[in-house]
Every structure is written in structure tokens, then in C-alpha cells.
Amino acid sequence: MSKIFVDACFGKKTPYTPVWMMRQAGRYLPEYMKVRAEAGDFLSLCRDPKKACEVTLQPIDILGVDAAILFSDILVVPMEMGMELKFVKGEGPLFLSPIKSEEDLDRLCIEEAAKRLEYVYEAIRLIRGELEASKALIGFCGAPWTLATYMIEGKGTKTYALVKKLIYTNPKFMHKLLKKVTEVIKLYMENQIKSGVDAVMIFDSWAAALEEDAYFEFSWSYMKEISTFLKSRYPEIPVIMFPKGISGYLDRIDGEFDVFGVDWSTPIELAKEKLGDKYVLQGNMEPTRLYSKEAIKEGVEKIVKVMKNQRHIFNLGHGILPDIPVENAKYFINEVQTQTKI
């Protein structure tokens, strides 16, 4: 059975524009919070294939989205490369011993890390067994730049001072780290595909931290390397790129991938003008519009008008927020499917 989401990724005609949401398996859903409480903590939930399967499927059943996205976290990759990770309440993720030296770099493993992520592959196999045949399953990873930033800073950052200092004072060290992370991600994504995902998405959450030339050297080049690797082996699997906050760099975006994710700060008209002929576009509803049904309707109408007769997948321009009413999320999905019906 063909999947509307996969068809749309390849620019095929679909009966309506497919829609899903980043972070759709998340804290705004009471059902998710119940399973998370049972798991004990966030990382335990990520490592439990049965529970990860359960929360991945919840938005399909509750909201009627057209694709499920694997429940996991981008930071399981550096964690399994050998870094100790904790999620601290009120602070977020924390690496207890950030990367500081060549010795730290040399301790990071590649093949072993990909094997240690077996709980992710098992979750995919379980989801694939339960997911409706018409619904797609999206696998994902963080971009090497975003992961490396966490690995060096040790936590979330507003200044990126440590990692950006390395770019300009020791670029060789930075590239060595990025190459290691890239090799793990290639294996990780390949194993996700072999386990049953229908598409893969690369999240570059911190793309906007870099000036233009630095971005293409230290981030986009590695994302392209991953997508080229995957498309050469699995041409039937769509690859989605999502670099957040680089609207000024769109003229230089190129590579072997299928879908470009447009964040909410990038005008959809601009993305259409610069990239619409080369790639299917995904996005880019402002996530906070979901607090108001009137704002949802208006936002959907605007994007539908711009993207009419254009290859498109509907999504938010970033993840759904934890305090969005479930009723409003349902309303958003229904509005898209109704307004875009042929």
C-alpha cells in the first residue's frame, strides 16, 4: 500500500497535503505523560522499546496525523559514543564530561556506538509491526554540528562560545570530532532504515549559530555527506533536511536529498522561491498559533494559498509546545486535511 507521506516526499500527487508535527509524541499529550511516568525518566523511556513504540503510535491514534516519528532523542548518539548523559529537571540535557582534549576525542567509539543503539532499532521493528500500512514511520538524527555543540558545551547554550572558539582557533580538532559523529550517524541511519523506517530526517537545531561560510564548512557539508551516503544506498527512502534559522543562506543549499524543512522564522514564500523547484518543502506553521483555533485556521489558509499546486508537506516550523491543548492539535490536523483536499 502506498503511503501518502512518502508519495508527497517524492513530489507525487496526493489526495490532500499530508501533515504531521515535530515532537508530536510529547508532553502536551496526557497519554504520553502517563507512559513517561511509568518509565521513570526520559532516558529510560528512550531505552525501552515497548514504551517508545507506544508513545510513537499515540499521535496516529489520537490526532490522525499521516506519519509517525520515532520517539527517541538526538543525544542518544553521543551518549552511546561513550559520553555520560543526564537530563536535569529545569535545565535539560547535561553531559558530565564534555569533550575538551584529543584524548577525549580518541575515546569516542564509532561502530560500537551504532551497535549500542539496538534499543532504537528494536523500537522501530515494534512500531512497524503495529503501525497502519497507510502511515509512514520517520526515523531521525541530529546533525553532526548540533550534536558536536552539545558534546563540547556540555549542555544547551545561548552563546556557543566554547564550540565557536574551537572553529576559529582549532578547526582541525573540530573537523575530527564532526567526522567521527558523521560516521556514527551514517551507521545509525542505515540501521534505522534496515529496521523499517520509511523516511529519515536530519535535525540541525543550532544551524543559526554559525555565520554563512562557517555553516557550510562545519555543518551543511556533513549533512550532505550523510544524505549522499543514504541516497546512494537507499534511493527509495526519502531524506529530509531541517536546518533551523538559515533563511539568509538558502541560495547555497544543495545536495542529494528530497525534502527541505522550513522553520517558522523563514518565510514560506522565500523558501518556495529559492528551493521550491529543487525540493519538496515541509513546514512551516508558527507553533504558537496552536494556542488559538482562529490563529490555526488563518495560518493554514495562508500556507495553503502560498503552496497551492506546489510540492508540500504540512508541519509546524518547530516542535509542538508542551502546553498546547490536545483539542487544538486535532483541529490543526483536521484543518490541513480538509483545506487541502482535492
Summarize pLDDT for 306-332 with one digit per residue, the tens: 999 899 999 999 999 999 999 999 999
Whole-number pLDDT of residue 74 = 98
The residues near 137 (Cβ < 8 Å, ≥ 6 apart) are 56, 67, 68, 69, 70, 124, 127, 128, 131, 196, 197, 198, 199
- Tell me whether residue 73 is one of the annotated catalytic residues: yes
For the segment 264-277, what is each residue's pLDDT rounded down to a tens digit? 999 999 999 999 99
> Which one of the listed residues 28, 121, 150, 222 is annotated catalytic?
150
For the segment 243-265, what is each residue's pLDDT rounded down to a tens digit? 999 999 999 999 999 999 999 99
Is 281 within 8 Å of 254 (Cβ atoms)? Answer: no
Whole-number pLDDT of residue 90 = 81
Q: Please report which confidence band the pLDDT of residue 342 belongs to, taking 50, 70 and 90 as the band edges.
A: confident
Is 298 within 8 Å of 333 (Cβ atoms)? Answer: no
The residues near 146 (Cβ < 8 Å, ≥ 6 apart) are 74, 203, 204, 205, 206, 207, 219
Per-residue CA distances from 172 to 59, 166, 175 (Å): 43, 9, 5
We report the CATH number of the domain holding residue 54 as 3.20.20.210
Closest CA to 187 of 83, 81, 102: 81
Whole-number pLDDT of residue 94 = 95
Whole-number pLDDT of residue 95 = 97
Whole-number pLDDT of residue 91 = 84
Whole-number pLDDT of residue 337 = 97
What number of CA atoms fall less than 13 Å from residue 226's CA on the CB side?
32
Q: CA 34 from chain center: how many Å?
A: 24
Residue in this structure with the C-alpha cell 534559522, named with its chain if needed: 245
Q: CA 247 from chain center: how many Å?
A: 18
Percent of the chain having pLDDT more than 70? 100
Is 322 within 8 Å of 17 (Cβ atoms)? Answer: no
Q: CA 39 from chain center: how many Å?
A: 23
- Tell me whether residue 188 is one of the annotated catalytic residues: no
- Tell me whether residue 27 is one of the annotated catalytic residues: yes
Q: Please report which confidence band the pLDDT of residue 130 belongs to, taking 50, 70 and 90 as the band edges.
A: very high
Q: How many domains does the chain have?
A: 1
> Which one of the listed residues 16, 73, 116, 160 is annotated catalytic?
73
Structural domain containing residue 320: 4-339
For the segment 170-208, what is each residue's pLDDT rounded down to a tens digit? 999 999 999 999 999 999 999 999 999 999 999 999 999
Q: Which amino acid is at 86?
A: K
- Tell me whether residue 47 is one of the annotated catalytic residues: no
> Which one of the listed residues 23, 47, 289, 311 is annotated catalytic?
23
Decide: pTM greater than 0.95.
yes
- Tell me whether residue 160 is one of the annotated catalytic residues: no
Strand extents, DSSP E, 125-278: 136-142, 199-204, 239-243, 259-262
What number of CA atoms fall less than 13 Å from residue 197's CA on the CB side?
30
User: How far apart are alpha carbons 322 and 34 in whole angstroms?
Assistant: 14
Closest CA to 138 of 181, 187, 222, 195: 195
For the segment 22-77, what is each residue's pLDDT rounded down to a tens digit? 999 999 999 999 999 999 999 999 999 999 999 999 999 999 999 999 999 999 99
Query: How does the average pLDDT of the chain come out, rounded?
Result: 97
Is 17 within 8 Å of 340 (Cβ atoms)? Answer: yes
Task: Work out the average pLDDT over 287-298.
Answer: 98
Per-residue CA distances from 1 to 133, 136, 306 (Å): 6, 11, 30
The secondary structure of the chain in percent helix, strand, coil, rounded to multiples of 5, reads 55, 15, 35
Q: CA 106 from chain center: how many Å?
A: 28
> Which one of the listed residues 27, 104, 119, 234 is annotated catalytic?
27
State the Cα angle at 313 between 309 and 316, rounded to 5°: 125
Helix (H, G, I), strand (E, B) or coil at 31: helix
For the segment 209-234, what is each residue's pLDDT rounded down to a tens digit? 999 999 999 999 999 999 999 999 99
Whole-number pLDDT of residue 44 = 96
Q: Please report which confidence band the pLDDT of residue 89 belongs to, taking 50, 70 and 90 as the band edges.
A: confident
Task: Work out the average pLDDT over 80-100.
Answer: 93
Whole-number pLDDT of residue 184 = 98
Closest CA to 92 of 73, 108, 77: 73
Helix (H, G, I), strand (E, B) or coil at 131: coil
